[in-house]
Amino acid sequence: LSEKLGGILDRLTRRGALTEADVDAALREVRRALLEADVALDVARAFTDRVKKDAVGVTVMKSVTPGQLVVKIVHDELVKTLGSDSQTIDLNAAPPVAIMMVGLQGSGKTTTTAKIAKRLTTRQNKKVLMASLDVRRPAAMEQLAVLGRDAEIDTLPIVAGQLPPQIAKRAIEAARLGGYDVVLLDTAGRTTLDEEMMNEAAEVKRAADPHEVLLVADSLTGQDAVNLARAFDERVGLTGIVLTRVDGDGRGGAALSMRAVTNKPIKLIGVGEKLDALEEFDPSRIAGRILGMGDIVALVEKAAANIDAEKAMRAAEKMRKGQFDLADMREQLQQMQAMGGLGGLMGMMPGIAKMKNQIANAGLDESILKRQIAIIDSMTPQERRNPDILKASRKKRIAAGSGTSPEAINKLLKMHRGMADMMKAMGQGKRGPLAGLGQM
Ligand code: GDP
Ligand code: MG
C-alpha cells in the first residue's frame, strides 16, 4: 500500500501551501490505510476530517510532495491522539488499592492480571493479592491460582458458592488484613457484549469501588472495538485500557478506535503469553503500525531537518554580513512561538533567568509575539527587506492592516534594530551566540 500511495502522492508535486485538493487526495489514501488497520469506520472518518482542518494551508517544504506532508501530519496527529499524560497504573490511593479487570472472554484478562501483579511486585516492590471473580468457569479460578503459584504472587483462597461482588469484598478485606498494597480483581467475561456481563461488572464495581478499572481488549478486535469500549465505559466506567496480543500480526487499529470513543488512556500492552510480556504503551510505535507508512514519515522528518539546517546556515551568513531584515525577524519570532513563547524558549537555555525577567518587564508575552508577526505580515516584501523606507504613511497603512498602531510599529522597529545590532556583534564577535543573546 505504501508503494501505491507513494505513486499517487508523487504526482502531487506542486509546492506552496497545501490546498484542499492535495489534502483530500492524500486523506483518501490515509483513510483506506486506517480501515485496513481495522480502525472503526466512523473513527477513521472523524479522525481524517479533523486532520484536514489542520493540514490545509501548511507550507510544503522542498523535496517533499504535498501527499507525503499530509501523511506526516496525520502521523503526528495520530501520536497525539493515542498519547496521554497518565499511561501508568495509578496507585495513588489508600492501600489496598483495588484494580478491576474487565473485558470479553479470551481477551487476556486473567493473564494480564498476573502480568500486572508481577510487574508491580518486581518493579515497584508492591505486595499484591490477586482474586478471581470468575464463578462461571470452575477452571478460571484455578487458572489464576496456578499463575500466582508460578509467579509467587498470593491469590485469594477459593470459596465455593460466593457471588462476584461478595468475592470482591472478601478480597479487599483480606488485602486489608494482610497488609497488601494492591488487590487485583479478575472478573468473568463473556464471548459477546451481553447484559449479564455488564450488570455483573457494574455490581462488582459498586462493591469494590476500585481505583482503576482496566478494559482488557484484544488488539485484533476490528470494527467491534468501538462498541466494546463504549459499552464498558458507559456501563461500568473505565480508567484505562490494556491492549493484548500486540505481538500478533494485527495493525492495532483498535487502539485508535477505543481511545477515540472513550478518551481513556491505553496504559499497557501485552506482547506475548509469558508473564513478563507486558510493556508500556508507546504511541508513536502504534501510530506507525496503524498508518503503515513509516518510510514516508521518516522522509518528511529528514526533509524538515534539512530545511532547519539550511535556515540556520542562511541566518548565520546574514548575521556575518550584518544583514538581518524584518523577514528574518519574523522567522525568529515564529520560532519562539513554536517553542512555546518566550517562557518555553528561556526554559531551554541555561543561565538566562535574568533575561527572562527583563522580557517579562517589557511585557513580551505570546500575544505580543503574535501581534509582531501580524505587523510584519502586513508589510510588503520590500518593506521587510528595507525597514528604512517605513515613513508615516506606510506605518499608518501597516497599522490598519495589522490592527495595531503606528506606535506599536515603532516599537517593533526599535526591537528589530536592537536584534540586528546584536546579530552583527554575534556574527563578528568571538563570544558564543548565547552570550550575545543577553544583550537583546
Ligand atoms: P481471559 O478469558 O480474558 O481471562 O483470557 P486469558 O487470560 O485466559 O487469555 C486467553 C489466551 O490468550 C491465553 O492463552 C493467553 O496465554 C493468551 N494471551 C493473553 N495475552 C496475550 C498476549 O498479549 N499475547 C499473546 N500472544 N497471547 C496472549
Ligand atoms: Mg479469565
Q: Tens of pLDDT along 358-385?
A: 555 555 567 788 889 999 999 998 999 8
Same-domain check for residues 347 and 266? no
Encode pLDDT of 138-187 as tens digits: 799 999 999 999 999 999 999 989 999 999 999 999 999 999 999 999 99
Chain-centre distance of CA 399, in angstroms?
39
| Chosen domain end from 248, 280, 312 | 280
Give the model's pLDDT for residue 294: 78
- 288 marked as binding residue: no
C-alpha closest to that of 391 among 400, 380, 383? 383
Same-domain check for residues 159 and 184? yes
What CATH number is attached to the domain comprising 361? 1.10.260.30
Using 50, 70 and 90 to split pLDDT, how confident is the model at 432?
A: very low
What is the CA(110)–ligand 1 centre distance, in A?
A: 7
Radius of gyration of the chain (CA): 29
Give the model's pLDDT for residue 356: 52
Same-domain check for residues 59 and 107? no
Same-domain check for residues 42 and 74? yes
| Chosen domain end from 225, 248, 280 | 280
Query: To the nearest whole number, what is the mean pLDDT of the chain?
Result: 85
What CATH number is attached to the domain comprising 270? 3.40.50.300
Q: Which atom of ligand 1 is nearest to the CA of 269?
A: 23
- 209 marked as binding residue: no
* Share above pLDDT 70 across residues of the chain, in percent, rounded to a whole number: 85
What is the CA(144)–ligand 1 centre distance, in A?
A: 12
CA distance 233 to 45: 22
Same-domain check for residues 101 and 203? yes
User: What is this model's ipTM?
Assistant: 0.99
Average pLDDT over residues 65-88: 85
Question: For residue 256, what are the CA distances in angstroms to 29, 286, 296, 342?
Answer: 17, 9, 20, 34
CA angle 103–109–115, rounded 5-degree value: 145
Which DSSP string do the residues of 311-366 spell out, in sequence order? HHHHHHHHHHHT---HHHHHHHHHHHHHTTHHHHHHHHSTT-HHHHHHHHHTT--H
- The lowest-confidence range among 1-10, 246-255, 337-346, 408-417 is 1-10
- Asked if the model's pLDDT at residue 84 lies above 70, the reply is no
Domain enclosing residue 177, as ranges: 97-280
CA distance 303 to 254: 31
Average pLDDT over residues 310-321: 72
Give the model's pLDDT for residue 428: 63
**Cβ atoms within 10 Å of 385's Cβ, excluding its own:** 15
CA distance 60 to 350: 33
Structural domain count, the chain = 3
Ligand 1, atom 28, lies closest to the CA of 273
Helices of type H across 125-190: 138-151, 164-177
pTM score of the predicted model? 0.71
- Asked if the model's pLDDT at residue 91 lies above 50, the reply is yes
- Angle of helix 253-262 relative to helix 20-36, nearest 10 degrees, comes to 110
In a domain, 308, yes or no: no
